[in-house]
Structure 1
């Protein structure tokens, strides 16, 4: 543990030392004469890329998009913002701040990655280190484009390093077909796969070769390229570098760092404004509750729906670990209020500054994706052991004798409860073509006058970005 804390403090110091670099916006202001001169410069630049990409999670934009826009969670707070209400009620507009945050974070990560990649071959230093840095940068660029293409469809593509505002103005930054975006994603990932070493990276805040293979599997699955997805996901499984942890709770509570199940994570440190706000978002806005030190209150912005709580099977151990509907009050009594438990730091004095790490990719996802791939290939019987591994971890009975259609629904349900609060639900429903069916049925069951129309499986291009770049065109329907 002491070594881990020292590593975090070292990273913090590194970030502080390169603050001037990170604050150089736009990136063309970075001078080749003063930076990008040696391996240390590129290592520092790579830390900057990671730092930017992690804002997707530290700012909770992915949780808002991936969870609040679905049947998993809802707003409990009495005075939510207009942007929060838009996501909860499926009425997102082009001015939504969370949508723009994802757009800007991803594109800035892409720009930083590209600047690094376009300069690194011109500088001589250790080739093994150079390959690793290039591989991680390519992974981060592909990872960011993967979010963009799934959320917005057609998006701008550039692999150019700009040296002046005039070059930016002259560049082709129009929306490119999603097929071209996926081509770039796959090119980056297949290159990164060869550049990163096959050995497991002990620091799981950084991408390793198997992280790349897992993301490749997810990209192929999203494209419905089941044969290709099966190959990559099986390579991760056969590597035996990962395993399910015995205790599901350990995945999302204090100390969940570098677990055997984790492929990629974001670490947080409370008390130095380096924490996350999950403990506030996922817990009730009740002033008299007594679940945090000092009896701090949450904000109730992303709390479980009753429908989600009912989705757990009776003997599912994940339910008591993931959600609660009874909150302890200061006087010792309890009050009915649904709230989340995963990633909540119950030791945090400030619920907006939690230290529980967030898992971006983990082995259970690989197993369930592989089961989905096999099922879609017509190998339903072969798929069952992989979903059953995930179920047996939480003492659920194994599934047997399911049809292909039945297993599809079983996987949908399994992923819903397994990955609650991990930002998967929206992407899972869209990928399987079930978003409208599932979400519209949820709205009807709640007597809510909302619906997901065909065009709303994509989000609007942020209006502020269109105002800045008239070459962008708004997605249909918005």
Structure 2
């Protein structure tokens, strides 16, 4: 399947309950009450349920989650008056922020969709649904659940681990917050199961075995498990289906799904991604809510090589507006959401190797760092010591993933948000649990993150 949009209408029709209310951020129901699929009975409804789960991942990655990944950091500033964006930009989030509420809700919507598939599909007896097809569908659901809990964990810390379908409050009563290590343990368990069930394939907009292994590499990086991070990154890098594409802009210039992509979410004009509207100036039909910062523009132009293609400009009268160009399909509105790229696997392995004091040689951190730099048209790094190499990798990640969901989370996981951004109150390194869930769910009462 090349796009979700080809079958999304059928998925929504078949699973209205699954998808209803997912965008209603004023709904006072807690996450336990998010609607589940009414029935999965055969191959058709199982595949429709899976499309519904992917649709929910699309919902939170089309705007909200990337915004939480870049706007609190130093690459992007908010250019407007909307309070939800101002709070995010100023690291002054409140529990009633609609981006926080919408993201939390929709991630749990995706998790609940995955839970239903995991619970039901293995027991189906439809003769059309072969064992291998059941494994594939269930493996994709395990991956979606793993991605959801990983994204919750790095944003909110430990979260309630709901592992069964929930249709009413009573289905999930008594579930308290898990710790962050417990949350990441669940991500690992789900990825291990996904690896077991998913096929070896090069599909880039649906989870396959290498997709699960790539997310495992990222998970191990966040957990500072350097040996495992290196090993799983190497597994993906060593697969000939994935490669750095040149020039840099090739991966975000149609046609998409290039060898750069390990996992991206596909959109279409019928199933649009409208994030471009927040980046484009009004002269190009956008709202220009997000602007590259002056410091980022200068840094990218000085050190970014051909990644300068991330920036574009338009002049109206005497005013020139510089804007982010990663999402540039304003006509067709089919910009992908980039979740895992092979460049990230190179930089994960570089960081893991540097942390193990493996700096030089073919199997050293500098080799991986320089592979990414060479693709950007840059000379090899001059970093020599471990500290210099780690700082060079941090800088490379800032430029390579400038407008993707990385910069804020990178600085938090390395405990550098205070030094780089001046956010010295470490309580602000985690997002608040939505007020609506705290108020509606007695199991979350008293479990709000400190500082909120």
1:283 CA displacement? 2.3
Q: Could you tell me which of 434, 448, 452 is aligned with 1:462?
A: 434
Instruction: Note if 1:338 corresponds to 2:314.
Output: no
Query: Which residue of 1 is the match for residue 25 of structure 2?
Result: none
1:158 CA displacement? 2.0
The alignment's TM-score, normalised by the length of structure 1, stands at: 0.86
Q: Does structure 2 retain, via aligned residues, the 8 Å contact 1:384–1:400?
A: no
Call closer, same or farther: CA 1:97–1:27 in 2, change over 3 Å.
closer
1:269 CA displacement? 1.7
Q: How far apart in 2 are the matches of 1:374 and 1:47? A: 38
Q: Does structure 1 retain, via aligned residues, the 8 Å contact 2:56–2:106?
A: yes
1:66 CA displacement? 0.9
Q: Could you tell me which of 270, 275, 280 is aligned with 2:272?
A: 275
Q: Could you tell me which of 383, 387, 390 is aligned with 2:369?
A: 387
The alignment's TM-score, normalised by the length of structure 2, stands at: 0.91
For residues 165-196 of structure 1, the C-alpha deviation after alignment (integer angstroms, 9 at most, x for no partner) is 4334xx22211111211111100001111111
Q: Does structure 2 retain, via aligned residues, the 8 Å contact 1:28–1:161?
A: no
Query: Which residue of 1 is the match for residue 27 of structure 2?
Result: none
Q: How far apart in 1 are the matches of 2:97 and 2:352? A: 34
Query: Which residue of 1 is the match for residue 401 of structure 2?
Result: 419
Instruction: Note if 1:312 corresponds to 2:300.
Output: yes
Q: How far apart in 2 are the matches of 1:29 and 1:161? A: 7
Q: Could you tell me which of 138, 151, 161 is aligned with 1:134?
A: 138
**What pairs up with 1:54-453 in 2 under 5 angstroms?**
54-58=58-62, 60-77=63-80, 80-124=81-125, 125-162=129-166, 164-168=168-172, 171-201=173-203, 204-253=204-253, 255-270=254-269, 272=270, 274-284=271-281, 286=282, 289=283, 292=284, 296=285, 298-312=286-300, 314=302, 316-324=304-312, 326-329=313-316, 333=317, 335-346=319-330, 348=331, 354-381=333-360, 382-400=364-382, 402-440=384-422, 451-453=423-425
Q: How far apart in 2 are the matches of 1:334 and 1:248? A: 31
Q: Does structure 2 retain, via aligned residues, the 8 Å contact 1:305–1:338?
A: no
1:301 CA displacement? 1.3
Q: Does structure 2 retain, via aligned residues, the 8 Å contact 1:343–1:358?
A: no
SS at 2:322 equivalent: strand
Q: How far apart in 1 are the matches of 2:165 and 2:79? A: 45
1:216 CA displacement? 0.2
Q: Does structure 1 retain, via aligned residues, the 8 Å contact 2:113–2:165?
A: no
Length, aligned pairs only: 433
Q: How far apart in 2 are the matches of 1:380 and 1:85? A: 41
Call closer, same or farther: CA 1:336–1:468 in 2, change over 3 Å.
same
Query: Which residue of 2 is the match for residue 446 of structure 1?
Result: none
Unmatched 5+ residue regions in structure 2? Answer: 22-32
Call closer, same or farther: CA 1:172–1:319 in 2, change over 3 Å.
same
Whichever of the two has the greater Rg, that structure is 1
Call closer, same or farther: CA 1:343–1:217 in 2, change over 3 Å.
same
Call closer, same or farther: CA 1:29–1:105 in 2, change over 3 Å.
closer
1:161 CA displacement? 3.0
Call closer, same or farther: CA 1:160–1:304 in 2, change over 3 Å.
same
1:9 CA displacement? 5.1
Call closer, same or farther: CA 1:319–1:198 in 2, change over 3 Å.
closer
1:267 CA displacement? 1.7
Q: How far apart in 2 are the matches of 1:24 and 1:312? A: 42
Call closer, same or farther: CA 1:464–1:315 in 2, change over 3 Å.
closer
Unmatched 5+ residue regions in structure 1? Answer: 441-450
Q: How far apart in 2 are the matches of 1:167 and 1:15? A: 24
Q: Does structure 2 retain, via aligned residues, the 8 Å contact 1:327–1:334?
A: no
SS at 1:312 equivalent: helix
Q: How far apart in 2 are the matches of 1:464 and 1:27? A: 13
Q: How far apart in 2 are the matches of 1:456 and 1:261? A: 34
